Amino acid sequence: MDFKKSRITILKILISTVLLFLLTLSVNYYINYNYSKTLNTFYSEFNQCDFNDAKETLSDNSFVLKLKKKAMTSEVSKYFTSIITTLCNELKNNNITSDQAVTVFKEIKSYDILDESLDKLILTLDQDYVLEDSSLYKHYLDLALEKYNVGQYSEAIEMLSKIPYSQLEYYNTAQDYIEKCKDSYKQSLFNEADKLSEEDYYTKAIDLLSNVDESIVSSTDKDIQNKISSIEIAREEYLSSQYYIDNAQPTSTSLLQNLNSETINTLNIESNTPYLIYVNLNDQKTYVYEGSSNNWTLERDFPCSSGIESEATPKGVYTITGRGDWFYSDEYEQGGKYWVQFWGDYLFHSLPYDETQNTIVDYTLGVPASHGCIRLAVEDSKWLFENMPDDTKVIIN
């Protein structure tokens, strides 16, 4: 009898264990199923920008979400991180706008799941973003200093100017760096202007300083104006020393008065290279000779255009001092290819192009039409660029 009771007891225990296992399995299945269903619903709603519905889905105070809160936070954090990465790539490829990205980032921020680095990301895209926590202004300051360190002075000043006086801990530092931005920007301009002046590009240096970024420094800034004045003085001194060749030199003003294509070999004209370039302003032609004094042979001649009356090409005797494959003038909104420098800002160069370097904006040749340079056909300027060595004499008459 006792044996029979023992078998019944064991059977009951076994059945209870199986039932408990099945119950546990069912509960786990129910929890995981509903948890996965809730997350998938949330992902779907968020992906479709149904932000209110998505937030309501996760705000449900159900037993399942309370039980899986830690896991849910981890899963949603990973999801938001992937969304941010995707949007950053889309921004980089110009597939979406900053405003579109910021809208999603702010929605993600409202869940308070990711760390403060999200604030920093939003700040880079939305200058009007208001920080909820005053301590986060350090992120704002750090971001502005990053821009300062890479020379993005305008962006840095814009951000630094938004740090309020109420945040005195960061405000004073911000004000100091606004002045550093201005000083660094001016110094970078002065360095570039000095480099241009050293290469006798005085007008370009003055243009550079006359067109400052006024979001950083005013065009009437005393230091800027003083620098322009000093370069103008240097330009005048340079022009005075270079404008015409002294009468005592073999290539004198009288030489210029007598020179033409027929007298080229009668005036003892020398060049420091086997080439001589002669520009006849009356005929609007450029002649290239090869040889030596009184033994010059015409190599090529090109139609050209010198400066218009108000910006006439200066007559004189010069030498080639440099070259480059492209320049662009913001003042005239045009540039030229294959330039060869013979005096300061004066160059031989191609027909003028627009900023893209693809479209010729003026085909005029054979009459004065430039701003002082000697304009040539593209193929002729390329030939001159490739074949005339530095120190070749240039006579313009």
Length of the chain: 397
pLDDT at 250: 39
Confidence of residue 304 (pLDDT cuts 50, 70, 90): very high
| Residue 112 neighbours by CB distance under 10 Å | 8
Residue listed under structure tokens 């932000």: 51
For 3-57, write each residue's pLDDT tens digit: 555 666 776 677 767 666 666 666 566 667 777 888 888 888 888 989 898 888 8
User: In this predicted model, which residue has the larger pLDDT, 350 or 25?
Assistant: 350
Kindly compute the dihedral angle of the four CA atoms of residues 288, 290, 291, 293, in this order, to the nearest 10 degrees. Answer: 10
196-216 pLDDT, tens digit each:
988 888 888 888 998 999 999
DSSP 276-288: EEEEETTTTEEEE
Residue with tokens 């006086």: 165
Q: Which of 49, 304, 349, 371 is catalytic?
A: 349
- Is residue 177's pLDDT more than 70? yes
Closest CA to 279 of 204, 362, 346, 378: 346
What's the confidence (pLDDT) of residue 192?
93
Mean pLDDT of the chain: 84
Decide: residue 14, CB within 10 A, 0-12 exposed, 13-18 middle, 19+ buried.
exposed
Is 49 in the active site? no
The Cα 88–Cα 121 span in angstroms is 10
User: Crossing angle for the helix pair 168-198 and 153-160, nearest 10 degrees?
Assistant: 160
Q: In the structure, what pLDDT confidence band is assigned to residue 252 with cuts at 50, 70 and 90? A: very low
pLDDT at 308 exceeding the cut of 50 = yes
Tell me which residue of 380, 322, 72 sits closest to 204, measured CA to CA: 322
> Mean pLDDT, to the nearest integer, of 309-321?
90
DSSP 188-218: HHHHHHHHHHHTT-HHHHHHHHHS--TTTS-
pLDDT digits (tens, 9 = 90+) for 67-91: 778 888 888 888 888 888 898 888 8
- pTM comes to 0.42
**The predicted structure's pLDDT at residue 153:** 92
| Cβ-based burial of 301 (10 A; exposed 0-12, middle 13-18, buried ≥19) | middle
Average pLDDT of the segment spanning 236-242: 63
Whether 371 sits among the annotated catalytic residues: the reply is no
- pLDDT for res 247: 35
- Which pLDDT score is estimated for 245? 41
| pLDDT for residue 61 | 62
CA dihedral in degrees (120, 121, 124, 129; nearest 10)? -70
User: Which of 291, 289, 315, 314 lies closest to 302 in space, CA to CA?
Assistant: 289
Do 332 and 204 meet the contact criterion of CB atoms below 8 Å apart?
no
Average pLDDT over residues 115-122: 71
* Structure token digits, residue 49: 């920008």
